[in-house]
């Protein structure tokens, strides 16, 4: 099973037998949503070893920017974040050269720092943060990892664990060596956990010395947990091996939130430092939100990839999630799922021959049929694995490229077959007008009027699902109801047409 299919399997494992899903969706070869673009990041040829430290830093910077969909330019936000970094540098015990921020063009919530002075935050993180003290806490935490040499210490611990495991494998029984390896993994996990807590403690002290509210760290950690819970409720955990979100690399636990609150209390009572909410919100006004239309847009059940030039409609009840590897979808009940990706085809390969080439297990070769979908040649077939049935379509979009659409269901009835076929038949080349009609989303800052409630402002959100939940999340609100008149709040709108 390829890594991306394994992610798909994990997302619906609560409802689907893992073995059946793995067998039926074990795809051979590389798949991607980029038939005309470059290879996925993991497949890229490693660059030659840099000749000097400056070249190495440039290569690391380019690698990080490429991994998170490039640099996102928003001068107002960049300027504001760099001003925060200057304050944090001045607040360190010995003083230091301030880091410089790069905003990454990714909706994933993440941040990290690279020595000696590069700090990265995604626009997804800016959308989740609600004031300067929260984003300052995140940046101070990442810088603390560098100042405390956590990466070096972790590497040393991993090397030590590897040596112990190798010795155990050579000198002890298989069972004993496995026990030693398991113990080493637990030790490294505990080691990493302690590093996160240590970075929190260091960062909170620096933030407080810089004049910011030390409770910002706990608020952001809580928002991070709520964000994960909302996304999981929609389609399962969304972190990927290629671009892990912050919860994958910085676990947010009640213990960690409690530790952050305890550290802040040692500094003072709530209200001690500045939150700078209004200036922060002004700085991120207009920042893009969600996926870029050029990389594939989800609007309810419709998916349109402007750059690659195609669109299709998922069946009723599906919630979709986009990635560079594939489009994934699942129903709220988890009893049906879909996957859309693309593959290269060798010149002259017929679609029935490719369908039967072994890239999907459990295929009923007698079910293969050729057809045409909106003027594109296609082949369709059925596969079975355990209690699950799969309807598979391969659509030739270019002479040497095809899209694969896989639907999975526990019961392949006439009704489900009709729904899946209608969705497959909706796959088409998108017109220029259709592509232009999908406008990007962006953050807009609005001022609450007397009588405004969370519900009334949520109705102005452009997101198609769970509008109120998203409004509460991105504004750090715990409950629905009346809002404070005159206070600023974030909503998500379509980018105005030029």
Residue 174 pLDDT > 80, yes or no? no
Q: Which of 30-39, 316-325, 489-498 has the lowest mean pLDDT?
A: 30-39
Residue 236 pLDDT > 80, yes or no? no
pLDDT at 17: 38
The first and second tokens of residue 76, run together, are: 């107002």
Burial label for 29, CB within 10 Å (0-12, 13-18, 19+), is exposed
Residue 446 pLDDT > 80, yes or no? yes
365 sits in the region (left: phi over 0; alpha: psi -120 to 50; else beta) called alpha
More confident residue, 432 or 194: 432
Q: Which of 72-81, 94-103, 132-141, 303-312 has the lowest mean pLDDT?
A: 94-103
Q: Are 199 and 146 in contact (CB under 8 A)?
A: no
- Provide φ and ψ at 14, rounded to 5°: -60, -30
Residue 412 pLDDT > 60, yes or no? yes
* Per-residue model confidence as pLDDT tens digits over 41-50: 222 333 444 4
Residue 453 pLDDT > 80, yes or no? yes
Angle, helices 216-235 vs 467-474, to 10°: value is 160
Q: If pLDDT is split at 50, 70 and 90, which confidence band does 153 have?
A: very low
3-class DSSP state of 276: coil
Residue 37 pLDDT > 80, yes or no? no
**Beta strands in 19-155, from DSSP E residues, in sequence order:** 100-104, 111-114, 118-122
Mean pLDDT value of segment 17-37: 44
More confident residue, 44 or 192: 192
Q: Are 214 and 207 in contact (CB under 8 A)?
A: yes
Q: If pLDDT is split at 50, 70 and 90, which confidence band does 365 have?
A: very high
More confident residue, 10 or 464: 464
Cβ contacts of 318 within 8 Å, gap of 6 or more: 301, 329, 330, 331, 336, 338
Closest CA to 293 of 319, 278, 311, 279: 311
pLDDT at 256: 86
Residue 456 pLDDT > 50, yes or no? yes
Residue 359 CA to residue 19 CA, distance in Å, equals 17
Residue 274 pLDDT > 70, yes or no? yes
Residue 262 pLDDT > 50, yes or no? yes
Residue 251 pLDDT > 70, yes or no? no
pLDDT at 193: 72
Mean pLDDT value of segment 259-268: 94
pLDDT at 480: 80
Q: Are 401 and 36 in contact (CB under 8 A)?
A: yes
The residue written with tokens 């671009």 in the block is 243
Most confident range (mean pLDDT) of 53-62, 344-353, 483-492 is 483-492
Calculate the alpha carbon distances from 380 to 30, 204, 393, 447 in Å. Answer: 20, 57, 4, 53
Q: Are 404 and 342 in contact (CB under 8 A)?
A: yes
- Provide φ and ψ at 233, rounded to 5°: -65, -25
Sign for the pseudo-dihedral over CA of 112, 114, 116, 120: negative
Burial label for 296, CB within 10 Å (0-12, 13-18, 19+), is buried
* Per-residue model confidence as pLDDT tens digits over 286-331: 999 998 777 788 988 999 998 899 999 999 989 888 876 789 898 8
The first and second tokens of residue 134, run together, are: 């929260």
Burial 127-147 (b: 16+ CB within 10 A, else e): bbbbbbbbbbbbbbbbbbbbb
Q: If pLDDT is split at 50, 70 and 90, which confidence band does 57 have?
A: confident
Residue 421 CA to residue 131 CA, distance in Å, equals 47
Residue 397 pLDDT > 80, yes or no? yes
pLDDT at 293: 75
pLDDT at 38: 29
């Amino acid at each position: 099973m390829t890594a991306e299919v394994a992610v798909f399997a994990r997302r619906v494992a609560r409802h689907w037998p893992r073995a059946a899903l793995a067998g039926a969706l074990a795809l051979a070869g590389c798949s991607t949503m980029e038939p005309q673009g470059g290879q996925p990041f993991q497949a890229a040829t490693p660059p030659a070893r840099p000749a000097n430290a400056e070249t190495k830093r440039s290569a690391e910077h380019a690698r990080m920017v490429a991994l998170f969909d490039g640099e996102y330019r928003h001068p107002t936000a960049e300027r504001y974040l760099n001003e925060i970094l200057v304050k944090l540098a001045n607040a360190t015990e010995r003083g230091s050269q301030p880091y410089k921020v790069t905003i990454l063009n990714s909706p994933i919530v993440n941040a990290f720092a690279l020595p000696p002075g590069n700090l990265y935050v995604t626009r997804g993180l800016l959308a989740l943060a609600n004031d300067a003290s929260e984003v300052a806490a995140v940046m101070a935490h990442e810088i603390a990892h560098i100042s405390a040499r956590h990466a070096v210490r972790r590497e040393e611990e991993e090397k030590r664990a590897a040596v112990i495991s190798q010795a155990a494998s050579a000198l002890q029984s298989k069972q004993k060596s496995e026990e030693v390896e398991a113990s080493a993994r637990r030790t490294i996990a505990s080691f990493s956990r302690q590093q996160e807590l240590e970075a929190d403690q260091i960062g909170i002290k620096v933030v407080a010395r810089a004049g910011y509210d030390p409770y910002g760290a706990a608020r952001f950690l809580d928002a991070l947990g709520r964000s994960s819970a909302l996304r999981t409720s929609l389609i399962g955990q969304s972190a990927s091996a290629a671009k892990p979100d912050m919860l994958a690399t910085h676990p947010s636990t009640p213990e960690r939130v409690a530790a952050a609150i305890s550290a802040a209390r040692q500094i003072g009572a709530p209200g001690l430092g500045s939150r700078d909410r209004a200036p922060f919100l002004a700085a991120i006004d207009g920042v893009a939100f969600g996926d870029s239309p050029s990389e594939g847009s989800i609007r309810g059940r419709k998916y349109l990839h402007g750059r690659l030039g195609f669109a299709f409609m998922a069946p009723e009840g599906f919630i979709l999630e986009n990635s560079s590897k594939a489009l994934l979808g699942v129903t709220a009940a988890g009893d049906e799922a879909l996957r859309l990706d693309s593959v290269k085809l060798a010149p002259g390969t017929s679609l029935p021959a490719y369908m039967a080439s072994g890239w999907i297990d459990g295929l009923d070769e007698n079910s293969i049929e050729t057809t045409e979908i909106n003027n594109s040649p296609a082949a369709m077939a059925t596969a079975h694995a355990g209690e699950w049935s799969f309807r598979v379509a391969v659509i030739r979009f270019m002479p040497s490229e095809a899209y694969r659409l896989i639907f999975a269901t526990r019961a392949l009835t006439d009704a489900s077959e009709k729904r899946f076929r209608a969705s497959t038949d909706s796959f088409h080349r998108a017109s220029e007008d259709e592509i232009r009609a999908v406008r990007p989303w962006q953050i807009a800052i609005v001022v609450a009027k007397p009588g405004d409630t969370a519900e009334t402002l949520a109705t102005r959100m452009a997101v198609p699902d769970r509008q109120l939940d998203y409004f509460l999340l991105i504004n750090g609100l715990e409950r629905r109801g009346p809002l404070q008149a005159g206070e600023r709040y974030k909503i998500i709108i379509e980018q105005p047409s030029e």
